[in-house]
Structure formats: C-alpha cells, structure tokens
C-alpha cells in the first residue's frame, strides 16, 4: 500500500509547499498554510470526459485577422436584476461564481432562477441540503417547473454522469465547498479540492456550452472562501450582500468578462422568496412625518442606476475621553477626511464630539458624490436644525472645501425630480450645458461648503 503523501497549501493563493512556513512565498500572506492529503494510494486514471468533443492534439494557432468574432448569444432570464448584473443575460458556456454570507438568500435566489427557467432542462445540484429540503423551499417560493431536476450529491464524477443523462441547459452548484473530485484525496472544502472541482466545472462549461452557476461561501473577513485562483478561473463573480436584519439585498458585480463590473441589483427578502425592487429610491427614503435634524437626501449612482438615498448623522458631546467615529454604509476614512475639512475650513469643532453616520436601508455606498449630503447632515445635527425634507443634493468635497463636479448629473436630477423634490443643489461646474426648463424643481449650483451653509442655515 502506498505511503500517504501530504503537502501544505496556502489558503489565500493555493501555493503548494512541502513544509509549513509562516509566510507564503507567493502572495506574502501570514499563517495561511494548511496541511492536506494529496495522495493516499493510486489515483484513478483521468479519462476523457463525456462532454469533450474534438481531438485535443489538433491544436492550431490562428492569425488575429483570421479570428471571426460573433455576438455572444445570451439567455434572458425572468429576473431583471440578475440580467442587469450579468451584463444583459446569461452567456452559454460561462461560469458564474456567486458568494455571500450564510442565510443571505443565495440558494433561494438561484432556486427561483431554476424554477423560472424555460429554455430547457435545468439541473440543480446541492451538497448541503436533501431533496426534501429543496422541495420545501420550492413550495414556499410558490413556483413549479417540470424541467427542473434535483440532485443531492458531492462527487463531481456522479454529477457529470447525471448531466449526461439529463442534458441540462443550465447547471447550478450549491456549493463549491461541498464538492469532491475523485482525482484529489483531500477533504471537501480544502484548497486543492476547490481548485480541482472549479477546473472540472470550467472544462465542462467550455466544452459543452452549458452555463454553470456556482454558489460559494465567504470567510469571516468578507472575502470568498478558497484560493484566489477560484475567482480567476470563472467568468463572472457576483457578491450577494446585505444585513440580515434588513429586508433589502444587493447583488454586486465584482468581475464580468461579458459586461460591466459596476452594476447593482436590489432585492427584497419576502416570505415568498426574493422580490425584485424596481424602484428602490422610494423604499430607501425613510418615511418620517416631521423634519428632523441630521437627515439629508443624496442622489447617487450605483452602476447604471440612479438612487435617491437618505444620509443620517448624529453629533453629540463626547462622554468618554476619546471621541467616537462610527459609520454604517460607507468608508470611515471619508468621514474623517470630511470632519477635518469642516474643522479647518469652516471652523466647526468636531474634535470633542461623537459622530455617528448611517446610510438608511442598510446598503453600502461607494460613490463620493454623497459627501455634500453627508456634510449637510453633520452640520444639521451640529446646529440641531432640520433640513427641508424636499431638498436633494449631490457633490464631492475637496480638501480645500470646494465642491467638485460629479458624473451623470442629468440622471441624478431626473430621478430626484421624479420623486417630487423641490430643490436640488449641484456643483457649479455641472451647471454648464444643463437645460433647466425640462425639470419641475429648482436647481442651484454651489461651489463651496461655506455657500451651502449660508444658503441653508
């Protein structure tokens, strides 16, 4: 009997080492090596897969001018938000990786996608749940599809054998961390298993033309579990995020070889599954009946979609020795920068104040154009004077207190006008070329934070 062979693999990049070391020589990560069994006895001979076509020996290079480029055919799904994040639909032969926290709704969303699929048979493979559990979720969602086939298995060879029998037009794997390849002796979820299973699914998709959707886990720091090479092997990477205490879920595109990487899909978790939010601006604005201090309305852009959101700020006297800076929904460093600008340019003393900032709705905003709204919310709470509820603003704050221009201001104005805003503050540099007659609300350009303070307060 052959001797058991082990090796050490980096959990960050998948680099293999014959012995344990504290620092990975490939990616530089510390304490990332784990020991895995790579060979227990003779491995099964790798045979040609049932979906392979053509002779691999006939590899030929082509000149660039001889390559024929055709438009990629896409399968349009019933889910408009998923179509948007995928770049216009699902591309045949593509591999899509979807990651998110436990219980965020990944399995529910793609079970709904499988139930709404009408382009042929679809095979839903689950290594985490039994067939009865999947059936119960399908009944709760309230859909039915005679073309949906369920498989509870973790062996990749068994999955491909069933795929040969079913002939699916879509394959969904839930999840990649539960699969095991017969060519690797390591346990499921290890670096070598995840890498090998992802490579087999990638070969299956490219040679058969069947799109594959892979559901993955994330680590405690928010990154996708498994080696970094997993993200390089797939065509599209989607991040499913949101707070489980809120009803809203965001589907972001982190990588897309067939479309833009700045798209965003918004869902609402309901008793019947994931519901598409067609007009998120109305839902993201909190319904308050009386004016309150520390609240400002911002017009932001996420992907190709304009959103009207509510920025909340609370400024209080510091009780402890060190003032607190707490942020939810945006980068803490941006808040510290804006507080320094207000301290230096405006003379507002935030040094001994506790500052708390929240983006209503539990979403995360990366657009710097909400900085003007954040500054106004901070000043409103500092002065304890409420802003007009029909006031919307957009602008990026510079280090000298100037308000810098933003992109796609026309879409932001149109969204705010549609929601019934009466006044909108925009950077003065964005006023050029705007036809204000097309909008019902008043639009004013501002160039400095001091001008905004005098205008509002």
Alpha helices in 37-97 (DSSP H): 80-86
CB count within 10 Å of CB 60 equals: 4
- Is the domain of 236 the same as that of 307? no
What is the C-alpha to C-alpha distance for residues 381 and 421, in angstroms, rounded to an integer?
21
Task: Look up residue 179 and give its two tokens.
Answer: 């699969």
Which of 278, 301, 326 is the last residue before a domain boundary? Answer: 278
Does residue 123 form part of some domain?
yes
Does residue 164 form part of some domain?
yes
Type and span of the H or E element at 204: helix 191-208
Residue 102 counted as an annotated binding residue: yes
Its domain, for residue 245, covers 73-278
Residue 398 counted as an annotated binding residue: no
Residue 44 banded pLDDT, cuts 50, 70, 90? low
- Is the domain of 255 the same as that of 306? no
CATH code (residue 268): 3.40.50.300
User: Which position has the higher pLDDT, 160 or 241?
Assistant: 160
Does residue 87 form part of some domain?
yes
- Is the domain of 105 the same as that of 148? yes
Task: Look up residue 340 and give its two tokens.
Answer: 């320094």
Give the pLDDT confidence of 115-153 residue by residue, as tens digits.
Answer: 999 888 999 999 989 999 999 988 888 777 889 999 999
What is the C-alpha to C-alpha distance for residues 79 and 74, in angstroms, rounded to an integer?
14
Give the pLDDT confidence of 312-329 residue by residue, as tens digits.
Answer: 999 999 887 788 999 998
List strands edge to edge, sheet with 391-393. 325-328, 353-359, 305-317, 295-302, 391-393, 423-427, 442-446
Does residue 52 form part of some domain?
no
Number of H helices, E strands in the chain: 11, 21
Judge whether 314 and 356 are in contact, CB under 8 Å. Answer: yes
Does residue 47 form part of some domain?
no
Number of structural domains in the chain: 3
- Is the domain of 125 the same as that of 265? yes
Q: Which DSSP letter does residue 420 get?
A: T
- Is the domain of 235 the same as that of 367? no
Indicate if the pLDDT at residue 108 is higher than 50: yes
CATH code (residue 420): 3.30.230.10
Residue 159 banded pLDDT, cuts 50, 70, 90? very high
Does residue 50 form part of some domain?
no
Residue 90 banded pLDDT, cuts 50, 70, 90? very high
Residue 103 counted as an annotated binding residue: yes
What is the C-alpha to C-alpha distance for residues 392 and 423, in angstroms, rounded to an integer?
6
Q: To the nearest whole number, what is the mean pLDDT of the chain?
A: 86
- Is the domain of 357 the same as that of 426? yes
Judge whether 225 and 219 are in contact, CB under 8 Å. Answer: yes
Residue 107 counted as an annotated binding residue: yes
- Report the share of the chain in percent with pLDDT over 70: 93
CA max distance for the chain: 85
User: Which position has the higher pLDDT, 179 or 221?
Assistant: 179
Query: Quick one: pLDDT at residue 358?
Result: 93
What is the C-alpha to C-alpha distance for residues 313 and 447, in angstroms, rounded to an integer?
23
- Chain-centroid distance of CA 257 in Å reads 15
User: Which position has the higher pLDDT, 194 or 1?
Assistant: 194
Which of 234, 263, 278 is the last residue before a domain boundary? Answer: 278
Residue 418 counted as an annotated binding residue: no
Query: Quick one: pLDDT at residue 374?
Result: 95
Does residue 200 form part of some domain?
yes
- Is the domain of 207 the same as that of 296? no
Give the pLDDT confidence of 174-213 residue by residue, as tens digits.
Answer: 989 999 998 887 788 888 889 889 999 999 999 999 999 9
Does residue 249 form part of some domain?
yes
Give the pLDDT confidence of 27-42 residue by residue, as tens digits.
Answer: 888 888 887 766 544 4
- Is the domain of 310 the same as that of 268? no
Give the pLDDT confidence of 328-370 residue by residue, as tens digits.
Answer: 989 999 999 999 999 998 888 898 899 999 998 777 888 899 9
Q: How far apart, in Å, do the first and last CA atoms of the chain sit?
A: 83
Determine how β-strand 236-241 pairs with β-strand 212-216: unpaired
What is the C-alpha to C-alpha distance for residues 395 and 448, in angstroms, rounded to an integer?
10
- Is the domain of 215 the same as that of 304? no
Which has the minimum average pLDDT: 280-284, 391-395, 441-445? 280-284
Indicate if the pLDDT at residue 387 is higher than 70: yes
- Is the domain of 444 the same as that of 356? yes
HSE toward the beta carbon, residue 317, CA cutoff 13 A: 1
- Is the domain of 102 the same as that of 234? yes
Give the pLDDT confidence of 247-300 residue by residue, as tens digits.
Answer: 788 888 989 998 888 788 888 888 888 888 877 787 777 565 577 899 999 999
What is the C-alpha to C-alpha distance for residues 122 and 172, in angstroms, rounded to an integer?
8
Give the angle subtended at the CA of 383 by the CAs of 380 and 386, to the nearest 5°.
40
- Chain-centroid distance of CA 457 in Å reads 38
What is the C-alpha to C-alpha distance for residues 201 and 193, in angstroms, rounded to an integer?
12
- Is the domain of 311 the same as that of 261? no
What is the C-alpha to C-alpha distance for residues 136 and 142, in angstroms, rounded to an integer?
10
Query: Quick one: pLDDT at residue 41?
Result: 47
Residues of the chain by 3-state class (helix, strand, coil), percent to 5: 30, 30, 45
Residue 101 counted as an annotated binding residue: yes
Which of 278, 295, 322 is the last residue before a domain boundary? Answer: 278
């Amino acid at each position: 009997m052959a001797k058991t062979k082990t090796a050490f693999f980096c959990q960050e990049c998948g680099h293999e080492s014959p012995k344990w070391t504290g620092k990975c020589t490939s990616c530089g990560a510390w304490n990332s090596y784990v020991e895995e069994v790579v060979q227990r006895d003779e491995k099964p001979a790798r045979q040609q897969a049932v979906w392979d076509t053509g002779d691999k020996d006939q590899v030929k290079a082509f000149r660039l001018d001889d390559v024929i480029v055709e438009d990629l055919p896409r399968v349009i799904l019933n889910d408009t938000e998923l179509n948007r994040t995928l770049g216009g639909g699902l591309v045949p032969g593509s591999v899509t990786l979807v990651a998110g926290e436990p219980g965020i709704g990944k399995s529910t969303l793609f079970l709904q996608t499988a139930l709404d699929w009408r382009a042929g048979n679809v095979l839903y493979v689950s290594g985490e749940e039994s067939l009865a559990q999947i059936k119960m979720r399908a009944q709760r969602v309230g859909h039915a599809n005679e073309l949906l086939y369920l498989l509870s298995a973790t062996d990749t060879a068994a999955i491909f054998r069933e795929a040969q029998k079913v002939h699916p037009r879509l394959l969904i794997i839930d999840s990649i961390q539960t699969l095991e390849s017969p060519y690797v002796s390591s346990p499921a979820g290890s670096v070598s298993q995840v890498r090998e299973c992802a490579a087999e699914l990638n070969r299956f998709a490219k040679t058969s033309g069947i799109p594959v959707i892979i559901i993955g886990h994330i680590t405690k720091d928010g990154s996708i579990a498994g080696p970094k090479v997993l993200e390089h092997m797939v065509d599209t990477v989607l991040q499913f995020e949101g707070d489980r205490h809120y009803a809203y879920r965001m589907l972001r595109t982190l990588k897309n070889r067939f479309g833009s990487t700045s798209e965003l899909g918004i869902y609402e978790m309901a008793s019947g599954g994931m519901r598409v939010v067609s007009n998120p601006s109305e839902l993201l604005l909190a319904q308050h009946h009386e004016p309150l201090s520390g609240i400002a309305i911002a017009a932001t852009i996420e992907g190709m979609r304009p959103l009207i959101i509510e920025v909340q700020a609370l400024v209080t006297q510091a009780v402890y020795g060190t003032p607190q800076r707490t942020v939810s929904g945006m980068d803490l460093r941006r808040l510290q920068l804006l507080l320094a600008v207000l301290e230096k340019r405006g003379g507002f003393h935030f040094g001994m104040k506790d500052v708390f900032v929240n983006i209503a709705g539990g979403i995360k905003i990366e657009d710097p154009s909400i900085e003007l709204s954040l500054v106004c919310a901070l000043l409103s709470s500092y002065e304890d004077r409420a802003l007009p509820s029909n006031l919307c603003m957009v602008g990026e704050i510079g280090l000298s207190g100037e308000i810098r221009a933003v992109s796609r201001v026309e879409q932001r104005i149109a969204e705010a006008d549609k929601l019934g805003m009466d006044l909108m503050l925009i950077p003065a540099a964005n006023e050029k070329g705007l036809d204000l007659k097309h909008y019902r609300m008043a639009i004013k350009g501002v160039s400095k934070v001091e001008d905004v303070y005098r205008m509002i307060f």
